[in-house]
Structure 1
Amino acid sequence: MICINQIKINVEISGQGDMNILLLHGWGQSTKAFTEISQHLATSFTVYNIDLPGFGLSEKPPYPYNTKDYADIIKGIVDYYQLDNLIIIGHSFGGRIAIKYTTMYNHVEKLVLIDSAGIVHKKKLNYYLKVYTYKLLKKCFSIPFLKKYKQKLLGRFGSSDYKNADNFMKQILVKVVNEDLRHEMNKIICPTLLIWGTEDNETPIEDAYIMKKMLGDAGIVKIENAGHFSYLENRYLFLSVLDVFLKEKG
């Protein structure tokens, strides 16, 4: 456990390679999401598997963070361990942070984005109806005879990330999901690998193609029939592709 910007951060370190890899998990996850990936990478690299603030064993932020605030935490970790030869691998929310960090600093050697967040689409009418219904139902459940239906009905509306977060983390989630990073991505100059599940309903594969257009040096690998956790759903293919990319000279 280390202290960065007055927050205790859990960092699990493994391996002794010359290149350093940071693993940034998705929303609602922790270092456990990358345990098997970390073990594999530790045979060739030094791996820093991080519990992001508000998740796992790390403390919550002192105020509702935005994506830059999370990127600042990553910079603090990099400085604390005096890391160079840096590779960042981020999944979903962790990918969003990885994008932001790499637009801010040019010392990242390689970037891997897995089913990454970072693209914001115009909301369809159905989205606003679901949000309105969710908020209305929450108010209605103050009526005693409706309370027994609360979980069943609320479960049909709102994202699982939002429903599972406490009130403080919901403030963070609302902030970060509305940050569109596409127009910052042209600042990223390092080789970037986009790995995506073709059946991802959280961050659709169309987002990968948008990112590829904005990035200078990027390739896409599709994992067929995989969803938002493509790296776990077909771990063998994921690791095979990752190994090739990491061994390539930048």
Structure 2
Amino acid sequence: MSEPHAVPPESSEIVYSLIEDIDGIEIAARYRRGDDPLLVYLHGWGRSLADFAPYLGRGPWSAVALDLPGFGRSTPPLRPMGARGYAELLREPLASLRRRLQASRMILVGHSFGGRIAAEFAGLATDADALAGVVIVASPLLRPQGGRPALGYRVVRSLHAAHLVPATALEWARGRWGSTDYRQATGVMRDVLVRTVNEQHLGALERARVPVELVWGALDTACPVPLAERVAARVAGANLDIRAGVGHDVPRDAPEAVWGAIHRLLGRIEPPVGCEEQLSE
């Protein structure tokens, strides 16, 4: 475990709200003007930018928290897509925000589903994206080893694959034996979830050309620590910080852990950002 870092002091800068229309999708955000780099916060599945709202008012940096498409005040994507699709969808809105805030570089901080998107963004980013690094927090970057869907669902899925039952039967089975997230999702977001839970993102991180920080709660049952350890072992230069007594909701339960990762990442950027004195005030 790395040494703790103080949560930055509150800033007097005003936080603004906006909604941008990108190819027919409205994306809501809250942002604050400040110094380079721009910190971009991406929330988890079923959550909203409210999870990261307290982060916007701290530190000297420009910062933005998004309602990801389909959550909060943002409208759903127009078609089913996984985390890579979300990463591609966000490229233009983030470029627009960088221009608005006159930021030359940005860091993505993603929790859970947001971490999936951050990983995929890192894998596809070019110099034009001005990505300086990613902080991934308690995110299912790999599918858990072992474990199988419920027997009833597997039976219906096999019958559907053999064209013995209609698609409505498969949809019923997913609702009957699927996760709480699946039952709560509607419309295109249900298809987004199905795609997302079957994805793995290690390859994207291995392609990334920027520093990677990983933050996990030792008690996380949604994304167990061994998955994070496998990722850290494969991604060159990735740091893994495991926090004792913390579960899946690291951003709200242990903000100092997230700020510690941001602090380390700021020190790894080339050229490095002078943040030591700013974080220790």
**TM category, shorter:** 0.7 to 0.9
Structure 1 counterpart of 2:35? 17
Distance apart, 1:133 and its partner CA: 9.2
Structure 2 counterpart of 1:116? 139
Structure 2 counterpart of 1:245? 264
Compared with structure 1, are the counterparts of its residues 131 and 15 closer, same or farther at alpha carbon in structure 2 (3 Å cutoff)?
A: farther
Deviates more, 1:14-23 or 1:80-89: 80-89
Query: C-alpha deviations, 1:118-165, integer Å up to 9, x for none?
Result: 21234524x333745999xx97xx9xxxxxxxxxxx6xx532211221
Compared with structure 1, are the counterparts of its residues 57 and 188 closer, same or farther at alpha carbon in structure 2 (3 Å cutoff)?
A: same
1:77 aligns with 2:97: no
Assess if the C-alpha contact under 8 Å between 2:217 and 2:244 holds in 1.
yes
Q: For the residues of structure 1 that align with 2:63 and 2:94, how far apart are their CA atoms?
A: 12
Q: For the residues of structure 2 that align with 1:28 and 1:203, how far apart are their CA atoms?
A: 16
Distance apart, 1:68 and its partner CA: 2.0
Structure 2 gaps, min length 5: 1-18, 158-167, 270-281
Q: For the residues of structure 2 that align with 1:172 and 1:71, how far apart are their CA atoms?
A: 13
Query: C-alpha deviations, 1:57-81, integer Å up to 9, x for none?
Result: 0111111122222011220112223
1:45 aligns with 2:37: no
Assess if the C-alpha contact under 8 Å between 1:2 and 1:9 holds in 2.
yes
Distance apart, 1:192 and its partner CA: 1.1
Query: C-alpha deviations, 1:99-135, integer Å up to 9, x for none?
Result: 001100143212100001221234524x333745999
- Which of the numbers 166, 169, 183 marks the counterpart of 2:186? 166
Structure 1 length-normalised TM: 0.83
Compared with structure 1, are the counterparts of its residues 78 and 238 closer, same or farther at alpha carbon in structure 2 (3 Å cutoff)?
A: closer
Distance apart, 1:206 and its partner CA: 1.2
Distance apart, 1:208 and its partner CA: 1.1
Structure 2 counterpart of 1:149? none
Assess if the C-alpha contact under 8 Å between 2:36 and 2:104 holds in 1.
no
Q: For the residues of structure 1 that align with 2:201 and 2:214, how far apart are their CA atoms?
A: 15
- Which of the numbers 58, 70, 82 marks the counterpart of 1:66? 82
* Higher relative contact order, chain-length normalized (CA < 8 Å, sep 6+): 2
Structure 1 gaps, min length 5: 143-153
Deviates more, 1:183-192 or 1:26-35: 183-192
CA RMSD of aligned residues (A): 2.5
Which residues of 2 match residues 181-220 of structure 1 at below 5 A? 181-220=201-240
Distance apart, 1:224 and its partner CA: 0.7
Compared with structure 1, are the counterparts of its residues 58 and 121 closer, same or farther at alpha carbon in structure 2 (3 Å cutoff)?
A: same
Which residues of 2 match residues 215-230 of structure 1 at below 5 A? 215-230=235-250
Letter matched to residue 203 of structure 1? C
Assess if the C-alpha contact under 8 Å between 2:35 and 2:61 holds in 1.
yes
Assess if the C-alpha contact under 8 Å between 2:136 and 2:214 holds in 1.
yes
User: Partner of 2:264: helix, strand, or coil?
Assistant: helix
Structure 1 counterpart of 2:252? 232
Compared with structure 1, are the counterparts of its residues 131 and 35 closer, same or farther at alpha carbon in structure 2 (3 Å cutoff)?
A: farther
Percent identical pairs in the alignment equals: 25
Structure 1 counterpart of 2:72? 56
Assess if the C-alpha contact under 8 Å between 1:130 and 1:158 holds in 2.
no
Compared with structure 1, are the counterparts of its residues 14 and 207 closer, same or farther at alpha carbon in structure 2 (3 Å cutoff)?
A: same
Q: For the residues of structure 2 that align with 1:24 and 1:134, how far apart are their CA atoms?
A: 35
Structure 2 counterpart of 1:103? 123
User: Partner of 2:247: helix, strand, or coil?
Assistant: coil
Q: For the residues of structure 2 that align with 1:131 and 1:201, how far apart are their CA atoms?
A: 23
Query: C-alpha deviations, 1:172-221, integer Å up to 9, x for none?
Result: 10011111122232111211110000111111111211211221221011
Structure 2 length-normalised TM: 0.74
Q: For the residues of structure 1 that align with 2:255 and 2:268, how far apart are their CA atoms?
A: 23
